[in-house]
Structures are given as structure tokens and as C-alpha cells.
């Protein structure tokens, strides 16, 4: 086949070149002689004439799709609501009734500002028909739960080492109180009479059991839902995974405890209390320094159906600022299983906040412990506490943790002595040495609270993750 020659079209035009007449020696002359040069089209076709008055319409510039609008979801959590006698007696009214609204008045701004608010309810509501008791076996008034609901808490964590303090019936009462009276609250970690667990006297391990039916009442709800999202239609028959809808996104919560203060799992607690650690199926003896495969599988399942996974383990060693090496190992295993945020409880003191990256390339924000929210414990480090503030965001690629805007606020649980009663929750930035000197610790134990210690603990434990009130509340 003959290749066609390309046709070059060269327009015909006349050039008038002003060619100077040069004199000998290079001198110029003022006499200029016009020269006409004619150029014909080269090729076989004639020129195309374009009518500039009848041009075709220009191709419109494509409109770029707008960038997705950023969605922010803020999550806050406070630590152990540990109701010693001095705390629950503060709630007793002159007419004999109970009211605990005072517990949360000092953090109202943060409860209102957060999209999701969480509290660790350390002590159980075993029943108002029983005596209210303190350490070592607690029973707290259900009016505390009423106050938590009134304050606006969205999630209550109940899988603690004290959940079984009042035995099987107390554990059932604890769960049923929330399910029957406050289904708007997502109660995590325990299961009441909705679980038909007829074989609790067997030695079968929960690792070998099938899930105990559909999620308990209150485990699936819509909260402040504003926009449809594909994940809002998800559901799970695994009642150890707790799902919350917020702004069209699904957040999953998993709450489990290392133990219920026994070395072996009580047979009738199986299926009613979520355990963090594995135990022998024959002896039910717990291995308290490992995370069970059941929990890791639950996290993995939660990750497959939710936009973010928050794991709240009840773990660690009491009264130590430093998490144990096995906790870091457990945290990394949970992160690789799909955890985005880990917020722990149990040590009764604040432990570090850190961003953990695993060898597999996964990462999450970890709060090992927030300390006590309320208590009347008798050492200065046990009245220093933290409020976790986690900022999640989506710019079109799914929910992620905003490292720059997440952290913790330092607070003080201030109580008085003679009689011992709850005083206030103060933020460290509002506290003073004068208030330190008025704390009930001094007359009760002779131990003085010092601002220098409080600030040192904040720097040591929170470091760059320390936040101020304005960091959170300012627009």
C-alpha cells in the first residue's frame, strides 16, 4: 500500500522587504528598494477558508467534581465511676431518695460538645433492694444510671472486675436496669435476662460457644443520624459487638474484662459477662495476660461491618503509671485485628497515651488508662484523672483518627472530708495550690496534693497529647 504524502499548506502572500542598499565599505544608504516575493501553496489541495464569523461552538471546559465535605465525629470518655461510700452518700437526699446529677455538672460542656460520650461504670447496680456497699464488693444505686442517662452519655461500659460483685443475680440486675429503663444508652460488656443461657453450669469455654442470639435491647440504635451511609444497614448476630450510628456512620464498640476478681470464670457468668482473656475449657482458669482469640475475632468482624472500631479493655495492674509489656502486645494484636482506638480502664491511675504502629503496618491511638472519674481513694495520683477526646474525620476516604486534634484533658476528682463527700471535678488548668490544700486527702491521710506533681504527671503521661479546654471547645 502506498503511503500518502502529508500535505503542507503554505499560504500565498507578499512580503515587502525593505532591503537597504549597501555602500562600499558597509555604509548604509537611505534609498530603500521594495522587493516583492510570491509564495505559492505547496501540495495538491487548495487552502481552507475559515469564516471567523461562523465558528463552531467551543468545547466546554469540564466541571471538576467538588471535593467531599469533611465530616467530623468527636468521641469523649471519662474513667472509672467508682462509687465508694462517700460518693454514693453524697447522692442521698433529705427525703431518702437518691440523685447523682452532681457527678456530671462540671463536664456538661464536654458532654454537650461530643458526638459520642462514654463512661466506665466500674461498680454494678446489683439491685436497689440490697444494701449499697463499697469496697471490696460493690453495689451502687441505680439512680447513678439515671444520672448518666440524664447527663447524655451514649455508651456505658460495664465489663469490669467488679461486675460480678453481687453474683449472678446482681449481674442480671445490672444489665436489665439499663435495658429496661434506658434503652437509649448503649450498654457494653454485660448481658441480662435477654440471654437464654441454660447451660451455665457447664465447663464449656465461651471460646467454644456460638453467639448468644441477636444483640441485646439497646445495642442497635440511631443517634443524631443526618445522612444515609451504606454501613447504617449492617447488623450482627454477635452480641459482643455493640453498634452505634452517628452522622450516618457506624462505630463499633467492644468492652471486655480480664476477670471478675476470680482466678476462674464463674460458670453462671459465661454468656453474661464479656471476657478479654482466654480460659481453660475444663477448669475455667483464666490466663490474664493474653487476649483471647474470641476477642480478636470479634474485632475483626466489627472492622468488616463498621466505619471505626473502639475497643475498651478492662486490663492492666492497679496503681501503676506504666502499662505492662503484655498490654502493649495485646494492644498490637487488637490493632492488627482492626481496632482504630483503644481506651482502657482498671488501673485507677492515668497511664500513657500513645500512637502505636504494628509490624504489619497498622496503627491506632491507645489510652492505657484514664484513671478514676470519681472515687474517694486515698493517694494523690488516684485523684488525678484524664478525659479522652478523640476526633474522627472523613474527607472521602473513610473515618480516620485526627492525630493533631486528639488527646486528653487533665482533671482532678476533688472530695471533702468530715464527712467524706464528693466535691467537684476540676480541670487542671482551673486548679490551684489553694484548692490542693483544701482537698480531703490532707485531713484524711496527711498526704498533700501539689500542683507541681499534677503538672509533672500531665507532662509525663500525656505529653504532646495533653489538651486544654479551648483546644476542644473553641470552634
Comparing 62-76, 147-161, 289-303, the range with the smallest average pLDDT is 62-76
Comparing 84-98, 225-239, 297-311, the range with the smallest average pLDDT is 225-239
Residue 287 forms part of a structural domain: yes
In this structure, the answer to whether residues 42 and 121 fall within a common structural domain is no
The average pLDDT across 20-43 equals 48
Range of the domain at 37: 14-51
In this structure, the answer to whether residues 155 and 28 fall within a common structural domain is no
Tell me the three-class secondary structure of 267-292, residue by residue. HHHCCCECECCCECCCCCEECCCCCC
What confidence tens digit (pLDDT) does each residue in 315-353 have? Answer: 999 999 999 999 999 999 999 999 999 999 999 999 999
Element (H, E) at 148: helix 143-151
The average pLDDT across 72-83 equals 98
What confidence tens digit (pLDDT) does each residue in 84-130 have? Answer: 999 999 999 999 999 999 999 999 999 999 999 999 999 999 999 99
pLDDT band for position 272 (cuts 50, 70, 90)? very high
What confidence tens digit (pLDDT) does each residue in 429-461 have? Answer: 999 999 999 999 999 999 999 999 999 999 999
163 CB contacts (<8 Å, ≥6 apart)? 124, 171, 174, 189, 190, 257, 260, 273
Task: Please check the confidence at residue 27 and state whether its pLDDT lies above 60.
Answer: no
Cell of 274: 464479656
The average pLDDT across 302-316 equals 98
Task: Please check the confidence at residue 24 and state whether its pLDDT lies above 60.
Answer: no
In this structure, the answer to whether residues 185 and 46 fall within a common structural domain is no
Q: Which of 370, 458, 377 is nearest to 415 (CA)?
A: 377
Which is it for the CA torsion 451, 453, 454, 455, positive or negative? Answer: positive
Measuring CA to CA, how many Å separate 156 from each of 144, 202, 272, 307? 12, 29, 16, 20
Q: Give yes or no for a cis peptide into 419 (omega within 30° of 0).
A: yes
The average pLDDT across 348-361 equals 98
Residue 129 forms part of a structural domain: yes
d(C-alpha 389, C-alpha 117), whole Å: 9
Q: What is the pLDDT of residue 63?
A: 76
Task: Please check the confidence at residue 307 and state whether its pLDDT lies above 60.
Answer: yes
| CB 443 within 8 Å of CB 415 | no
Rounded percentage of the chain residues whose pLDDT exceeds 70? 80
Q: Calculate the CA 31 to chain-centre distance.
A: 90
| CB 247 within 8 Å of CB 224 | yes
Measuring CA to CA, how many Å separate 425 from each of 97, 107, 173, 385, 460? 23, 8, 29, 10, 21
In this structure, the answer to whether residues 250 and 356 fall within a common structural domain is yes
Q: What angle do CA 215, 221, 259 make, to 5 degrees?
A: 45
In this structure, the answer to whether residues 127 and 30 fall within a common structural domain is no
In this structure, the answer to whether residues 80 and 42 fall within a common structural domain is no
Element (H, E) at 313: strand 308-314
What confidence tens digit (pLDDT) does each residue in 394-432 have? Answer: 999 999 999 999 999 999 999 999 999 999 999 999 999
In this structure, the answer to whether residues 305 and 215 fall within a common structural domain is yes
Task: Please check the confidence at residue 291 and state whether its pLDDT lies above 70.
Answer: yes
Residue 7 forms part of a structural domain: no
| CB 297 within 8 Å of CB 236 | no
What confidence tens digit (pLDDT) does each residue in 187-206 have? Answer: 999 999 998 754 343 333 33
d(C-alpha 47, C-alpha 444), whole Å: 106
Rounded percentage of the chain residues whose pLDDT exceeds 90? 76
In this structure, the answer to whether residues 107 and 29 fall within a common structural domain is no
In this structure, the answer to whether residues 300 and 424 fall within a common structural domain is yes
Task: Please check the confidence at residue 68 and state whether its pLDDT lies above 90.
Answer: no
Task: Please check the confidence at residue 132 and state whether its pLDDT lies above 60.
Answer: yes
The average pLDDT across 52-66 equals 74
Task: Please check the confidence at residue 35 and state whether its pLDDT lies above 80.
Answer: no
Q: What is the pLDDT of residue 60?
A: 78
Q: Is the pTM of this model over 0.85?
A: no
Identify which has the larger pLDDT, 226 or 465. 465
Q: What is the pLDDT of residue 28?
A: 46
Q: Among the three residues 6, 36, 51, which one is the final residue of a domain in this structure? A: 51
pLDDT band for position 11 (cuts 50, 70, 90)? very low
Q: Please provide the distance, in angstroms rounded to a whole number, between the alpha carbons at the two ends of the chain.
A: 74
Q: Which of 373, 354, 320 is nearest to 81 (CA)?
A: 373
Identify which has the larger pLDDT, 35 or 437. 437
What are φ and ψ of residue 157, in 5° steps?
A: -90, 130
Task: Please check the confidence at residue 356 and state whether its pLDDT lies above 60.
Answer: yes
Residue 268 forms part of a structural domain: yes
Residue 208 forms part of a structural domain: yes
The average pLDDT across 281-294 equals 96
d(C-alpha 196, C-alpha 219), whole Å: 17
402 CB contacts (<8 Å, ≥6 apart)? 72, 391, 392, 393
Q: Where are the beta strands (DSSP E) in 172-287?
A: 186-188, 220-223, 242-246, 249-257
In this structure, the answer to whether residues 177 and 230 fall within a common structural domain is yes
Q: What is the pLDDT of residue 200?
A: 41
In this structure, the answer to whether residues 133 and 82 fall within a common structural domain is yes
Indicate the length of the chain as a whole number. 475
| CB 281 within 8 Å of CB 208 | yes
| CB 78 within 8 Å of CB 115 | no
The average pLDDT across 14-21 equals 43
How does the average pLDDT of the chain come out, rounded?
86
Measuring CA to CA, how many Å separate 197 from each of 96, 209, 215? 37, 11, 14
Residue 336 forms part of a structural domain: yes
Task: Please check the confidence at residue 209 and state whether its pLDDT lies above 70.
Answer: no
The CATH number for 333's domain is 3.60.21
Cell of 133: 456497699
Q: What is the pLDDT of residue 252?
A: 98
DSSP code for 254 = E
In this structure, the answer to whether residues 35 and 131 fall within a common structural domain is no
> Could you give the number of structural domains in the chain?
2
Burial of 453 (0-12, 13-18, 19+ CB in 10 A): middle
Cell of 226: 443526618
Cell of 18: 525593505
Residue 331 forms part of a structural domain: yes
Residue 413 forms part of a structural domain: yes
Amino acid at each position: 500500500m502506498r503511503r500518502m504524502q502529508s500535505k503542507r499548506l503554505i499560504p500565498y502572500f507578499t512580503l515587502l522587504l525593505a532591503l537597504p542598499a549597501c555602500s562600499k565599505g558597509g555604509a548604509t544608504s537611505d534609498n530603500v528598494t521594495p522587493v516583492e516575493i510570491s509564495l505559492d501553496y505547496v501540495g495538491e489541495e487548495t487552502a481552507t477558508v475559515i469564516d471567523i464569523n461562523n465558528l463552531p461552538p467551543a468545547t466546554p471546559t469540564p466541571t471538576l467534581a467538588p471535593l467531599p465535605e469533611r465530616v467530623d465525629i468527636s468521641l469523649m470518655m471519662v474513667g472509672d465511676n467508682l462509687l465508694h461510700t462517700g460518693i454514693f452518700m453524697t447522692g442521698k437526699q433529705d427525703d431518702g431518695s437518691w440523685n447523682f446529677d452532681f457527678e456530671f455538672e462540671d463536664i456538661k460542656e464536654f458532654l454537650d460538645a461530643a458526638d459520642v460520650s462514654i463512661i466506665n461504670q466500674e461498680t454494678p447496680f446489683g439491685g436497689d433492694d440490697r444494701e449499697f456497699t463499697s469496697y471490696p464488693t460493690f453495689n451502687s444505686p441505680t439512680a447513678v444510671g439515671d444520672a448518666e442517662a440524664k447527663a447524655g452519655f451514649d455508651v456505658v461500659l460495664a465489663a469490669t472486675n467488679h461486675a460480678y460483685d453481687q453474683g449472678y443475680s446482681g449481674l442480671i440486675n445490672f444489665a436489665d436496669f439499663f435495658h429496661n429503663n434506658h434503652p437509649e444508652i448503649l450498654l457494653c460488656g454485660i448481658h441480662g435476662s435477654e440471654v437464654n443461657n441454660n447451660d451455665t453450669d457447664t465447663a464449656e469455654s465461651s471460646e467454644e460457644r456460638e453467639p448468644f442470639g441477636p444483640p441485646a435491647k439497646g445495642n442497635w440504635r440511631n443517634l443524631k443520624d443526618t445522612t444515609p451511609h451504606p454501613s447504617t444497614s449492617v447488623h450482627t448476630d454477635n452480641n459482643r459487638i455493640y453498634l452505634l450510628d452517628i452522622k450516618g456512620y457506624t462505630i463499633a464498640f467492644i468492652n471486655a474484662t480480664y476477670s471478675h476478681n476470680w482466678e476462674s470464670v464463674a460458670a453462671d457468668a459465661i454468656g453474661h459477662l464479656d471476657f478479654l482473656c482466654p480460659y481453660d475449657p475444663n477448669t475455667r482458669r483464666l490466663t490474664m495476660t493474653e487476649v483471647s482469640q474470641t476477642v480478636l475475632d470479634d474485632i475483626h468482624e466489627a472492622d468488616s461491618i463498621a466505619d471505626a472500631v473502639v475497643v475498651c479493655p478492662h486490663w492492666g495492674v492497679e496503681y501503676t503509671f506504666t502499662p505492662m509489656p503484655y498490654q502493649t502486645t495485646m494492644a498490637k494484636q487488637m490493632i492488627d485485628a482492626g481496632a482504630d482506638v483503644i481506651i482502657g480502664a482498671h488501673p485507677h491511675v492515668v497511664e500513657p497515651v500513645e500512637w502505636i504502629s504494628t509490624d504489619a503496618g497498622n496503627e491506632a491511638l491507645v489510652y492505657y488508662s484514664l484513671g478514676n472519674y470519681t472515687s474517694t481513694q486515698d493517694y494523690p495520683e488516684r485523684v488525678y484523672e484524664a478525659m479522652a477526646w478523640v476526633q474522627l474525620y472523613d474527607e472521602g476516604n473513610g473515618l480516620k483518627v485526627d492525630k493533631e486534634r486528639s488527646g486528653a484533658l487533665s482533671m482532678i476528682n476533688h472530695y471533702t472530708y468530715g464527712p467524706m463527700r464528693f466535691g467537684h471535678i476540676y480541670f487542671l488548668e482551673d486548679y490551684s495550690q489553694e484548692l490542693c490544700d483544701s482537698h480531703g486527702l490532707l485531713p484524711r491521710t496527711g498526704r498533700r496534693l501539689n500542683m507541681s506533681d499534677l503538672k509533672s504527671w500531665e507532662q509525663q503521661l500525656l505529653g504532646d497529647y495533653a489538651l486544654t479546654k479551648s483546644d476542644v471547645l473553641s470552634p
